[in-house]
Amino acid sequence: MSAAVAVAVTGLASAWAEKEIASAAVGAMAENEKLFGKGLILTVIPETIVIFGMVVAILLWLNM
């Protein structure tokens, strides 16, 4: 149960953060195509949140 919550909530959180960043990044790219690399990186930064969630979930699951 707690493992599921950990993954689900962090998943939602990173999705929300990525949405915000990606829309800004696309806007910036429209002005300067060279920003693609930077935009891409900024967009995937929040992915770490869900990785943390997953690690916590796995630890919980393993210690059951």
Partner 1 sequence: MLLPKQMTRVLIVGSRGALKDTIEVLYQLESAHLIDFSAEEEGFSLGAPLPESSEASQKLLKLRSLEKDMGIDDEDVRGQMDISQIEEDLTQTIIGLEAEITGATESKNRVAVRINELEADKAVLQNFQALPLNLELYRDYDSLKVFTGKVRGDPTAALKAAAPQSEVFISENGDFVATFVTKAQADEAQRALVQFGFTEVPAPLDSGSPQQLVAKTDEELVALRSSLDEAEKKLDNLKEKHATFVKAADEHLSIIVEKAETPLRVGTTEYTFAMDAWVPTSEMPRVEKAITERLGGKVHLETMEVMARRESHSHHEEEEEHHETKVEEIPSKLENNRVVKKFEFMAQMLSTPKYRELDPTFTMMITLPIFFGLMVGDIGYGIPFIILGWIGLKKCVTNEWRTISTLLFFGGIWASIFGIFLFGEAYGIHFAEQHHDMSWSSLLGVHLPHEIAIGGFEIPLGIYSKLHNVKEILYMTVWIGIAHLFMGFCIGFYNKSIRYGLKHAVVEKISWLMILIGGALLLLFMVDAMIRGIEVSLMDIRMLVAIPLMLVGVVMAYLGEGAGAILELPGLMGNIISYTRLGAIGMSKAGLALAFNTIAFEVMWGHDFHVIGSNSGDTIMLIAALGIFLIGHLTIFVLAIISAGLHSLRLHYVEFFMKFYEGGGVEFKPLKVIRKYTTEKNGVSE
* Of residues 38-57, those binding partner 1 (CB under 8 A): 38, 40-41, 44-45, 47-48, 51-52, 54-55
Is residue 53 packed enough to be buried (19+ CB in 10 Å), middle (13-18) or exposed (0-12)?
A: buried
The reply on whether position 58 binds partner 1 by CB under 8 A is: yes
C-alpha dihedral over 27, 33, 38, 41, to 10 degrees? 70
Tokens of 6: 């950990």
State the number of binding residues for partner 1 (CB under 8 A).
15
Footprint of partner 1 (CB under 8 A): 36-38, 40-41, 44-45, 47-48, 51-52, 54-55, 58, 62
